[in-house]
Structure 1
Amino acid sequence: MAKSALLVEWVHLNPRENATAHHTDRFEAVHLEPPKTILRRGQPFTFKIRLVGREYDPNSDNIRVVFNFGQTPHTVKGTKGVADVNPNKASFSEEQPEQWEAILKEKDTDSVTVEIQSPIDAPVGIWTMEIETKIKQTAGRTRLFRHPEKMYILFNPWRKGDVVYMSDEHLLDEYVLNDVGKIWVGPHGSARGRHWIFGQFDESVLPACMLMLGRTNVVDANRGNPIRLVRAISKIVNSNDDQGVLMGRWDGKYEDGTSPSAWTGSVPILQEYLRSKKEVCYGQCWVFSGVVTTVCRALGIPSRVVSNLVSAHDANASLTVDKYYNLENEEIDDPTNPMGEDSIWNYHVWNDVWMARPDLPKGYGGWQAIDATPQETSEGFYQCGPASLEAVKAGAVSYNYDVPFVLAEVNADLIRWKEDPASELGYEKIESHKYHIGRVVLTKAPWIFDPNGDKDIQDITEQYKAKEGTEAERLSLMNAVRGTERAKRFYSLPSAASEDVSFDLEDIERVPIGENFKVTVKIENKAKEDRNIQAVLSAGSVFYTGVKAHCVKKASGTFKIRAGSKEELSLSVTPDDYLGKLVEYCIMKVYAIATVTETRQTWAEEDDFQVLKPSIDIQGPKTITVGKPASLTFSFKNPLKMKLQNCKDIQPLETVRLEKTFVPSLSGSIKLVSTFTSKELTDVSGASVFECLDEDDE
C-alpha cells in the first residue's frame, strides 16, 4: 500500500526558548498563557512538529513550511515565504540570508524539530504559518496544517545585514532594550530630565503598533524597509492627517482630555488608542517623542529621544528665523511670509533612529532624525525625516528627507528687521544672530539613569553641527544656503551699519518659584560722543513653543549715555508680578531692544528661563524583595506663600509626606516615578531606583 502524506497533529513554536536568542524575552506577551511568538528577522528559530500515524522518512516525505504576511501574500513581493525542510543540511551558511530556509534538526518516532531562518529584509509585523506535507516525486495528495497562532517578526539590529544593524551591541541595551528613560525639557539654562516610562515590552504595545501601521500608507511589501516605516511612524503618531495616536494641543485647555504634563509614559496612551481606536487627547512634542521611542524600540529600531534647546521653526524654508519690529521697537508679525510665521521654541523634542541609508551616498547612515510633532508638512503630510545627521551637519540639503527643516531647527540664523520707510523693502536688517539657535542638543547617555539629577545627560550638539563660531559650522550652513533658493535671498541682504555702543543682556538661568528676579542690560558707549538711547525691557510668560501668554512687566524710556561710559538698565520682577500669569512648564521670556538715535544702530536680545518647582523626594529601603510589602515615603515642600488647592490642602511653605506600600512582582532594578498636581502647582515629579531581590537572594 502506498504511503500517504504525513498528518500533522500540532506545531509547537517554542516561543519562550526562541525568545532568549532573539532578544525578545522581555516582552510580556512571551510569558502569557498561551505565550506569543516574537522573533527577529534573519535569526534562526526552531519549532516542533507532532505527527500522527507514522514516522517521518526523509527519503520519501517532503515537509514544506509556508509563511504569509498581509492581505495578499506573494513570494515575488517578499510577503510569502516558502521553504522545504532540508534533511541533509546541518546549518545555515548565509551570513545575510536573502530567502527562507528550513533544515531538519532532530527526528523522533512521532515528531520532527525544524530550524527556520527568515530573510534579513523580511517585512515586519504579524505572520502566519502553514505546514504542507506530501510524498516526494508523486502526484499524491498534499496535506495542509494551518497553525492557529500568529507570530511577530521584528527588525534585528543584532544581525549584520539588517538595515538597522548596530555593530556595538552594548548600545542596544540602551536604544532597544531600555524601557525607562529621560526626556530633557525646559529652556536653555534650566532644562531638566523628565522621567519617561517607554514600556515597549507591555503586552498592549505590539498590538497598538500593528493598528498604527495598518493605518499608514506603507504597503505590505515595504513593511521591512525601516526608511519607509519610520517616516510613516512620524506621521501616524500625530493625528493631523489620519487616524493617528495623539492629538496635539498647546493652548493650556485640556479639560476634555489629559493634560500633556500629566503623562509619565507611553503605555497608557497606547492602551487607550488600542481600546478606543481613535486619537488620544492630548500630546506635545516630548509626548510624541516618548511614544515614537516606544514604537521604534518595540519594533526593533534603535531609537533615542533628542531635545534641542532654543529650537527654530522655519516656516518659509529660508534657513532663518525672522523677527520684525516697528519704529517704536515693538515686535510685529511677519508681514512678508504667506506660508506662516517663523518662531523659536524654548525647546523642541524629536527622535533619532539608527539605520543604514542605502538610498543615499556612502557615509550618510547612522543616526537619522524623525519628528512626529506636526509643525510643517512634508510631501503634503505632517511627517518629518528620516534626515541623516551627517547630511544635516554637512548642509547637504538635497538628500532625503527634510534635511533643510532639521538643519534650520539647530542652526538657522536669527535675523531681526526694523521698519525703515526709506528702504526699498520697507525694512532694514538690524541684527543677524549666528549663535542663538540650537544652543545645545541633548539626549540620555547610554546605561546611566540618575533618578534625582542630570548625571545621565549627553550633549550631542556636535553630531548635528560643527561647533558654533568655527569655520566648519559657517561653511556647512552656507553650503545649505547655496542649495536653497529662498535662503539665498535672505542671506545675501546687507548687514547693519557700524556700531559703537555695545549691549549685553545678562542671562537668567534658574529662578526658584516664589523668588524675585531682575532683567539687566549692560551698556557701554565706545564712541567719543554722547549717545541717546531708546530702550524697552519686558518680561512675560510663554508657552514652550515660544508663543506669548502674558506680559508680566514692561518698562521703556529714553536716556543719554556719556562718551566712553558704562550704564546698567534693570527691571525688577516679584512673585506677585508673575505667579498669576505663569502657564504650563512655568517658562518666562525676558526681552530687550534698544536704538541709538544718532547712528540708528538697533540691538535686540532675549532670554528664556524656567521658574523652577520643587521635586518629590522618594525614600525607602535600599533593597526590596519580590512578593514582600515595601513601604515608601513621598514628600515635598510647598515653596509658595499660599495654600495649594484642588489637592489635599497644603498650607503655605508646608512640607507634606505620604506613605505607601506596594508588593513587587519581579526582581531587578525598579524605577519608580511619581507626580503631583494642584491648581497652583502642576508638573511636579520625582523618581527613585530600587533593587528588588528574589526571596532566595536575601
Structure 2
Amino acid sequence: MEPLQVDIVHFYPRENAQPHNTMKYEVVNDENPTTTIVRRGQPFNGVVRFNRPYDEATDIVQLVFSIGDRPSMDTMGKMFIRRDAAPDKHAWSANLLDLPEPNTLSFNVSSPVTAAVGAWALRVVTWQRGSQERTYYDFDQDIYILFNPWIPDDQTYMEDTALLQEYVLNDVGKVWVGPVKTTRGKPWMYGQFDAVVLPACMFMLDRADVPFNQRGDPVKMTRAISRIVNSNDDGGVLVGRWDGQYEDGTAPSDWTGSVDILAQFLETQDSVPYGQCWVFAGVVTAVCRALGIPSRVVSNLVSAHDANSTLTVDKYYSETMEELGYDPSNAEPEQTDSIWNYHVWNDVWMARPDLTAGYGGWQAIDATPQETSKGVYQCGPAPLEAIKQGVIGMNYDVEFMLASVNADLMRWRIDPSEETGYSMVDSNTYHIGRMVLTKKPYVFDPNGDGDREDITEQYKYREGTASERLALMNGVRVSERAKRYYAVASNLQNDVTFNLRDVDTVPIGKDFRVTVDIENTSNEGRNIKASLSTTSVFYNGVRAGVIKKVEGKMFVGANKKEQISILVKSDDYLPKLVEYCNIKISAMAIVEETKQSWADDDDFQIIKPNISIKFNEDLIIGQPGVALLSFTNPLDQTLTGCEFRLTSSGIAGRTLKLSPSDVAPLEPVSVEIPIQPSKLGKINFVATFKSVELKDINGAASAEVFEG
C-alpha cells in the first residue's frame, strides 16, 4: 500500500484558545483564524486528513515540532500519534483521540512545561511499518507556544490565578509619574493582543540572538528583554533620550501605548526614537504579557542612581556651601550619583530554581539604560525579597536596585581641616524611595487615582524601622566602599534649625512662594549665609536652568526665629519650564560661628489640566461614532502647532490623530474624532495633547460597546 499523504492539518485556533487563556489575541478572532496560540504543558487539539483511510495497524504518523533554524534536543519535539500516549510534563506526546471519518484522525498534543516560547514549526512524517519510504508534509501556519502561569509546573505559575486577569490578560494600565506630592497615574495601552505584537517579540528576540534553548527560561528571557527593549547594545526597540530634543522622532510624552512602538520597530527593523523610563517599562510589560510572563509596571518616587556602588547618594558642596555639579571623590567625575524625581521599571513573576529557596515571586527588571551589568545595559531579574533583605550577592543586580529604593542621601562639604577633605553636612535616611507604586489589580480609574497601589513594603521595610536599617546595613557590610561612607555619618552638633516649607500644588500659570524657617536655639546670636533657588529640571534630576535665586547674609538673635523667602511668578518660570514641568527648590546655609552647614531640596510639578473624553451617543460595534476630546488652555498665551492623539485597541485604526487650529489664551479647545468600534464590551481610550507651548496633557476613558 502507498504511504499516507497528508491533505490538511488543522489546529482549531479558536477552540484551543479557550482552555489556554489566549482568546484575546486578535489573530485568533479573525474570521478564519490560521494562527494557533497555546500555552506550554497543556494539551491542545488538532486534526489531520489523509489521501486514504488511516490503518492503525500499519500506518505510522510522526509529528516533529521545532523552533529556530538549527533545532537540537531542547528545541525539537518528535512523537508518534498513538492511542493512550501518557502525557508527561517534561516530554512531548501526541494522543490519538478518534477517527471521525475514515481518512481523518483527531489527536491532542502536549508540550513540555519547559518548552521554548515562540513560533514553532510542524512537520508531519508518515510511513508504513517495515518500509523505508517516508512522506513529509510541512504545516505552513504559525503555532505560538507561550509561558503558562496557570499551571503549577510552569516556572511562571502564580498561585492566585485570579491575579493573572490583571498581570497577563489586562491590556491597559497606569504608570505613576511625577514627584511625590504631585504624582499622577498616566494611562497606557499595553495592547499585547494586537496582531503585530507577537511577531515583533519574535523579531526582537532574534535580533538580540537569544539562544532558542534559553527561550523557555523566564529568568534568561526577562534579563534579555531588559536588554533589548533599549537600543544601547543590539539595535533594540527604543532609543532613550532625556534632553527635550525629539524633532527627528516621537517625544516620549506623546506615546499613548506600546503597540505603535512595536509596530514601527517591526516595520522599519530599526530602533524607534524616543523613549524614557515609563515608555521602556510600558513596552516591557506588553512584551512579557504577550509571551505569558506575569508583569507589572512599578514607579519608585525619588529614585536613586548610585553610580559608584556605595549604597549612598552623595551630594557635594564647596566650602561656602555652593552645590558642585559633580562628584570630586570619583575617578570619573562625570559618573555622579543622581536622584530622579521618579523612575519606572517592571516586576515579573516567576520561581527562581537558580537561587536558594525563598527568592521566587516578583523580580525587578529595568530596561532603562543607566548602568551596565556584565558589560551590557541590562538589569535584573532581582528578587524583591533579596532587595528587601539587602542580600546583594543574589542574581541579578540586587545592589543597584537596593540603592534605587533605599540608599541614604549624604551631603558633603569640602573641608580642608578634615582628614578626608570633606565634612558631612547631613545624612537623610528617609529621602530615597518615598513610595513604590503600581496599578491595583482589576481596577482602572480613567479620571483619578482610585487604581493606585502602594507596594513600598514589598521592596523595603518601613523607613526608620530596625529591619529597614538592618537590610541596608546588610548591603553596606558586604561593600568595602559603602562601609567608608557610612563610617563618617556621625552625629553633628547643631544649634540652628532650618526648615524648607513644602510648596502646595501650583496650577500652571499661577505664582508660588518658597520659604525657609530658621530658628536659633542657642544663647548667642548667629550670622548665617543662605541661598535659595528654584530651578527647572528634567525628571531624571538633570538641571535645565535657574528660574530665580536669592542669596544673602542675615543675623538671627539668641533664641530667635527668622525666615527667608522668594516669590516666583508665572512669568519667571513659564519660559524656563522643560517637559513635564518639574521644578526643584534648593536651599543651603552655613553658620559662620560654628561652621554648621545645612542643605535641603524639594521637587514638585506644576499641575496641568486633563483631557476630558466623552461620547455623544452609545457606541455600536461596526457603526461610526464620535469621541469628543476637550480641555481648557490654562495659559494666557495662544497654543500653536496643536495635536490630539487617541488610542484604543477596540477601534478601527487603533491610533487616530487630529490637529485643531490654534487655541486662544485661557479658552477651551475641543475636537470631534470619528471612531468605529471593533470590539464588544468595555473598551478603554487613552489620549494625549501637545503644542509648542504646552505638552504632556493626558486623558483616559472607558466606554461600553453594544451590539447593533
Given the two structures, how large is their TM-score scaled by the length of structure 2? Answer: 0.95
2:691 corresponds, among 653, 673, 678, to 678
Q: What secondary structure does 1:350 align onto?
A: strand
Q: Is the 8 A contact 2:87 2:93 kept in 1?
A: no
Cα distance per residue 1:650-691 (max 9 Å; x no partner): 111111222333221211111112221111100112111111
Give the letter for the 1:82 counterpart.
K
Shift of 1:565: 2.1
Q: Which runs of 5+ in 2 are unaligned?
A: 643-660
Partner of 2:56: 58
Q: Is the 8 A contact 1:58 1:87 kept in 2?
A: no
- How do 1:428-577 residues align onto structure 2 when only pairs under 5 Å count? 428-495=423-490, 497-577=492-572
Shift of 1:272: 0.8
Give the letter for the 2:105 counterpart.
V
2:9 corresponds, among 8, 11, 19, to 11
Give the letter for the 2:668 counterpart.
T
Q: Is the 8 A contact 1:206 1:298 kept in 2?
A: yes
Q: Which whole-Å CA distance do the structure 2 matches of 1:167 and 1:83 have between them?
A: 31
Shift of 1:622: 7.4
Shift of 1:370: 0.4
Shift of 1:26: 1.1
Partner of 2:37: 38
Partner of 1:184: 176
Q: What secondary structure does 2:180 align onto?
A: coil
2:77 corresponds, among 69, 75, 81, to 81
Shift of 1:359: 0.8
Partner of 2:592: 597
Cα distance per residue 1:273-317 (max 9 Å; x no partner): 101111111111111111111110111100000111100000001
Shift of 1:182: 0.7
1:527–1:201 Cα change, 3 Å: same
Q: Which whole-Å CA distance do the structure 2 matches of 1:531 and 1:15 have between them?
A: 80
Give the letter for the 2:706 counterpart.
L
Cα distance per residue 1:134-168 (max 9 Å; x no partner): 233x1442322221223111111111111111111
1:293 corresponds, among 285, 291, 308, to 285
Q: Which whole-Å CA distance do the structure 2 matches of 1:509 and 1:283 have between them?
A: 30
Q: What secondary structure does 2:519 align onto?
A: strand
Shift of 1:180: 0.9
2:668 corresponds, among 642, 646, 655, to 655
Partner of 1:110: 103
**Mapped pair 1:345 → 2:330:** no
Shift of 1:623: 4.2
Shift of 1:556: 0.8
Q: What secondary structure does 2:372 align onto?
A: coil
1:127 corresponds, among 120, 130, 136, to 120
Q: Is the 8 A contact 1:496 1:601 kept in 2?
A: no
Q: Which whole-Å CA distance do the structure 2 matches of 1:545 and 1:693 have between them?
A: 44
Q: Is the 8 A contact 1:543 1:549 kept in 2?
A: yes
1:334 corresponds, among 327, 335, 342, to 327
Q: What secondary structure does 1:251 align onto?
A: coil
Give the letter for the 1:424 counterpart.
E
Q: Which whole-Å CA distance do the structure 2 matches of 1:126 and 1:39 have between them?
A: 10
Q: Is the 8 A contact 2:616 2:628 kept in 1?
A: no
Cα distance per residue 1:622-644 (max 9 Å; x no partner): 74221333333222111111222
Cα distance per residue 1:525-544 (max 9 Å; x no partner): 22222222111111010000
Q: Which whole-Å CA distance do the structure 1 matches of 2:10 and 2:343 have between them?
A: 48
Give the letter for the 2:19 counterpart.
A
Q: Is the 8 A contact 2:39 2:145 kept in 1?
A: yes
User: What is the alpha-carbon root mean square deviation over aligned residues?
Assistant: 1.4
Give the letter for the 1:183 counterpart.
V
**Mapped pair 1:355 → 2:350:** yes
1:499–1:462 Cα change, 3 Å: same
Q: Which whole-Å CA distance do the structure 2 matches of 1:452 and 1:405 have between them?
A: 34
1:345–1:334 Cα change, 3 Å: same
- Range moving further from structure 2, 668-677 or 180-189: 668-677
Q: Is the 8 A contact 1:42 1:156 kept in 2?
A: yes
Q: What secondary structure does 2:18 align onto?
A: helix
- Residue identity over aligned pairs, in percent, reads 54
Q: Is the 8 A contact 1:630 1:661 kept in 2?
A: yes
Give the letter for the 2:628 counterpart.
T
Q: What secondary structure does 1:147 align onto?
A: strand
Shift of 1:557: 1.1
Q: Is the 8 A contact 1:430 1:496 kept in 2?
A: no
Q: Is the 8 A contact 2:439 2:452 kept in 1?
A: yes
Q: Is the 8 A contact 1:466 1:473 kept in 2?
A: yes
Shift of 1:39: 1.3
Q: Which whole-Å CA distance do the structure 2 matches of 1:139 and 1:627 have between them?
A: 56
Cα distance per residue 1:500-552 (max 9 Å; x no partner): 22111112242100111111112222222222211111101000000000100
Q: What secondary structure does 1:268 align onto?
A: helix
Q: Is the 8 A contact 1:501 1:526 kept in 2?
A: yes
Partner of 2:67: 69
Q: Which whole-Å CA distance do the structure 1 matches of 2:84 and 2:614 have between them?
A: 62
Give the letter for the 1:129 counterpart.
L
Q: What secondary structure does 1:327 align onto?
A: coil
1:219 corresponds, among 207, 211, 220, to 211
- How do 1:70-469 residues align onto structure 2 when only pairs under 5 Å count? 70-75=68-73, 78-89=74-85, 92=86, 94=88, 97-107=89-99, 108-136=101-129, 138-332=130-324, 333-339=326-332, 340-469=335-464
Q: Is the 8 A contact 2:617 2:625 kept in 1?
A: no
Shift of 1:494: 4.3
Q: Which whole-Å CA distance do the structure 1 matches of 2:203 and 2:458 have between them?
A: 34
Q: Which whole-Å CA distance do the structure 1 matches of 2:504 and 2:353 have between them?
A: 44
Cα distance per residue 1:440-461 (max 9 Å; x no partner): 0111101100011111000001
Shift of 1:470: 0.5
Q: Which whole-Å CA distance do the structure 2 matches of 1:44 and 1:227 have between them?
A: 25
Q: What secondary structure does 2:185 align onto?
A: strand
Q: Is the 8 A contact 1:387 1:401 kept in 2?
A: yes
Give the letter for the 2:444 counterpart.
F
2:605 corresponds, among 600, 610, 621, to 610
Give the letter for the 1:211 counterpart.
F
Shift of 1:30: 1.7
Partner of 1:635: 630
Q: Is the 8 A contact 2:319 2:413 kept in 1?
A: yes
Q: Is the 8 A contact 1:16 1:35 kept in 2?
A: no
Q: What secondary structure does 1:391 align onto?
A: helix
Q: Which whole-Å CA distance do the structure 1 matches of 2:588 and 2:131 have between them?
A: 89
Given the two structures, how large is their TM-score scaled by the length of structure 1? Answer: 0.96
- How do 1:16-35 residues align onto structure 2 when only pairs under 5 Å count? 16-32=14-30, 33-35=32-34
Q: Is the 8 A contact 1:195 1:264 kept in 2?
A: yes
How many pairs align? 685
Shift of 1:197: 0.7
- Range moving further from structure 2, 578-587 or 201-210: 201-210
Q: Which runs of 5+ in 1 are unaligned?
A: none
Q: What secondary structure does 1:474 align onto?
A: helix
Cα distance per residue 1:365-417 (max 9 Å; x no partner): 00000000010000000100000000000000000000000000000000000
Q: Which whole-Å CA distance do the structure 2 matches of 1:361 and 1:541 have between them?
A: 46
Q: What secondary structure does 1:529 align onto?
A: coil
